[in-house]
């Protein structure tokens, strides 16, 4: 029984290790974060600051973008189906480190989802998981 348990454990561990190596095969070093505004800001002025730093990544021959998708049915969060047109923030050598403000009135949405997409000429592609942000907090 112990041998069977040990074999099952090793098989599960090997699948987990394979899944981790597939998630980011390009091994790019970068950071992207979304910082929400102060709670004291009035609802019609709510914004979030999207900051990125790709300065340690080799961007030569790579297409890097941050996709931002405004969401209309915020209660569904990442599973939302009522979406506005996607906005792409193209990252180049000139703006490999930067930030931009996302305003809910300009996006015409109270929430959004965003992710990073990297494509290289050698065929190494990676997409981060979608992340969700609500400009206006849920009512209790």
Q: What is the pLDDT of residue 6?
A: 46
- Structure-model confidence comparison of residues 99 and 2, the more confident one: 99
**51-108: pLDDT as tens digits:** 999 887 777 778 899 999 999 888 888 988 888 899 999 998 888 899 999 998 898 8
Q: What is the pLDDT of residue 19?
A: 31
Pairing of strands 47-53, 62-71: unpaired
**All structural domains of the chain:** 28-134 (2.60.40.10)
- When the pLDDT of each residue in the chain is averaged and rounded to a whole number, the result is 79
Q: What is the pLDDT of residue 13?
A: 41
The answer, yes or no, to whether residue 35 has pLDDT greater than 50, is yes
The answer, yes or no, to whether residue 41 has pLDDT greater than 80, is yes
Query: What percent of the chain shows pLDDT beyond 70?
Result: 79
């Amino acid at each position: 029984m112990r041998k069977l348990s040990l074999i099952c454990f090793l098989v599960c561990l090997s699948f987990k290790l394979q899944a981790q190596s597939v998630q980011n095969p390009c091994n790019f070093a970068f950071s992207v974060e979304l910082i929400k505004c102060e709670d004291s800001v009035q609802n019609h002025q709510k914004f979030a600051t999207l900051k990125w730093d790709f300065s340690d990544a080799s961007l030569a021959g790579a297409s890097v973008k941050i996709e931002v998708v405004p969401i209309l049915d915020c209660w569904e969060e990442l599973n939302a189906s009522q979406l506005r047109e996607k906005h792409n923030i193209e990252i180049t050598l000139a703006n490999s480190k930067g930030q931009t403000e996302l305003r809910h009135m300009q996006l015409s949405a109270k929430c959004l989802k965003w992710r990073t997409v990297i494509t290289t000429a050698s065929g190494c592609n990676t997409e981060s998981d979608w992340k969700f942000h609500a400009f206006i907090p849920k009512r209790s």
